Amino acid sequence: MKRIISLFSIALLMIAAVSAQTKAPSESAMDRFLRYVKIDTQSAEDAGKWPSTEKQLVLARLLETELKALGVQNVRISEEGIVYGMVPGNMPDNSKVPTIGFIAHMDTSPAVSGANVNAIIHKNYQGSDIILPNDKTQVIRVDQNPDLKNLIGDDIITADGTTLLGSDDKSGIAEVMTMIDTLRNNPQIKHGNIAIAFTPDEEVGGPMDKFDIQGWGAKFAYTVDGEQLGDISNETWSARTATVTFTGKSTHPGTAKGIMINSSYAAGDFLSRFPEMVPNRPETTEGREGFIHPYSTAMSEETSTIKILLRNFDINGLAAQEEAVKRVIAETQKKYPNVKVDYKSELGYLNMKEVLKDYPQLTDYAIEAAKRAGITAELRPIRGGTDGSRLTARGLPTPNLFTGGHNFHGKLEFNSRKGLERSTETLVHLVQIWAERSK
């Protein structure tokens, strides 16, 4: 025990010594973050092209310029709007350390406007509810945000109540950029080659099938796209999207007697059965519980369609969810025998745990890096997908790291100065740990 304690204190002293010697970056993560959130990068569903919105390229070009100024090599923007670059390692032999990639996404959610974001810094936060000044109905409540109690004394960053903040995922971008800056100012910190990528359209199922894994060069990667400090994820949903199509018969309403079959009634009947027949919905589930979610409808007399998200951590759970949807269809079909009902579904992505369980060092090193930055980290499944879920499925193992952010995709989104700084420190420690463990 004594020996453990003394080793532990030596380790602490060493960590303290390293931190004391670390020179600050040329610009703080906070300043970078405040610059990036001013650029509207909202993506759009069903644009039929990548990037889905031209305005994402404004941030892409700024990052291209900034990466070059930080000495990053091979910086380029792909046709789809992906920004790639490589930070060369500073080891005697970089080939002994696997190239580690970091990915953050440039777009913000289509759900809430990201135009004219007016970031507000609530200095030296003292623990009360935070009322957003330009829409006082928007309140970040302590009872709904238990992590706020850990942020007393910190500077909290929010939007003004009229837009989202864009912490998802400009926090990740600011942290990766500040990591590069910190490494550049501290050549004593040894690391291997580091691949960098900033992606468009993550929120709308972006161009990950086009991501140049080979050319990018990373053997393992991390998305920096998570939430509160300490949350590390090697599990995402397995996802299917189902489409139910109701076909009736359209005719001129003036002469429709005995002829028209209005498919919208069947679609409406189908939807109305959900609260009773499908207990697991987004609004009733949390943690590891999956859900079924009708999220988009288009109705007309002739044809009505309803799109439904099926989400489950267990791949076998998806099959049971498909059966549940078919049971609802059967009830509707009984009531509307003249309406033809078709069901189809396609696989979106798979829980990345299926692959990542074979590479435990990815999350072990990340947990150790967080610890060196003073954060107690734990593995928490993501009730969503990430760019990493799709890259992992394509053969590049990519778990997800925290950014310090909260309340993604809404007007109550926030991060904090320490959230940005500690997350950045974690990244700096992480590349060091890969170098230490790979010698």
Catalytic residues: 107, 202
**Is residue 387 close enough to count as binding Zn ion by CB under 5 A?**
no
The one-letter code for the residue type at 277 is: M
**Is residue 169 close enough to count as binding Zn ion by CB under 5 A?**
yes
* SS3 labels along 355-387: HHCCCHHHHHHHHHHHHHCCCCCEECCCCCCCH
**Is residue 227 close enough to count as binding Zn ion by CB under 5 A?**
no
- Give 262's Cβ-side CA count (13 Å radius): 11
Residue pair 75/84 in contact by the 8 Å Cβ criterion: yes
Q: Smallest distance from the beta carbon of 87 to Zn ion, in angstroms?
A: 22
Nearer to Zn ion among residue 269 and residue 387 (C-beta): 387
CA distance 154 to 135: 23
Nearer to Zn ion among residue 80 and residue 169 (C-beta): 169
CA distance 136 to 201: 31
Number of CB atoms found within 10 A of residue 185's CB:
14
Site of tokens 């990815």 = 362
**Is residue 175 close enough to count as binding Zn ion by CB under 5 A?**
no
**Is residue 225 close enough to count as binding Zn ion by CB under 5 A?**
yes
The residue range among 62-70, 183-191, 225-233, 427-435 that interacts with Zn ion, by the rule CB under 5 A, is: 225-233
CA distance 401 to 213: 20
Q: Smallest distance from the beta carbon of 386 to Zn ion, in angstroms?
A: 7
Q: Smallest distance from the beta carbon of 431 to Zn ion, in angstroms?
A: 22
Nearer to Zn ion among residue 43 and residue 424 (C-beta): 43
CA distance 43 to 54: 9
The residue range among 162-170, 193-201, 270-278, 315-323 that interacts with Zn ion, by the rule CB under 5 A, is: 162-170
Element (H, E) at 329: helix 315-335
The residue range among 153-161, 165-173, 365-373, 397-405 that interacts with Zn ion, by the rule CB under 5 A, is: 165-173
Q: Smallest distance from the beta carbon of 397 to Zn ion, in angstroms?
A: 19
Dihedral (CA of 15, 18, 20, 24) sign: negative
Pattern of binders to Zn ion over 109-138, x per CB under 5 A? ------------------------------
Distances from the Cα of 114 to the Cα of 199, 223, 260, 386, 413, angstroms: 17, 22, 44, 20, 12
Nearer to Zn ion among residue 169 and residue 413 (C-beta): 169
Number of residues that bind Zn ion (CB under 5 A): 3
**Is residue 168 close enough to count as binding Zn ion by CB under 5 A?**
yes
Nearer to Zn ion among residue 159 and residue 306 (C-beta): 159
Running DSSP on this structure, what letter comes out for residue 249? B
Q: Smallest distance from the beta carbon of 423 to Zn ion, in angstroms?
A: 14
Q: Smallest distance from the beta carbon of 43 to Zn ion, in angstroms?
A: 11
**Is residue 107 close enough to count as binding Zn ion by CB under 5 A?**
no
Q: Smallest distance from the beta carbon of 385 to Zn ion, in angstroms?
A: 10
The residue range among 74-82, 147-155, 218-226, 339-347 that interacts with Zn ion, by the rule CB under 5 A, is: 218-226
For the chain, the residue count is 439
Instruction: Locate all alpha helices (DSSP H) within 52-148, ordered by sequence.
Output: 56-69
The residue range among 11-19, 109-117, 209-217, 220-228 that interacts with Zn ion, by the rule CB under 5 A, is: 220-228
Residue pair 241/348 in contact by the 8 Å Cβ criterion: yes
Element (H, E) at 401: strand 400-401
Nearer to Zn ion among residue 175 and residue 225 (C-beta): 225
| Residues lying near Zn ion in the complex (CB under 5 A) | 168-169, 225
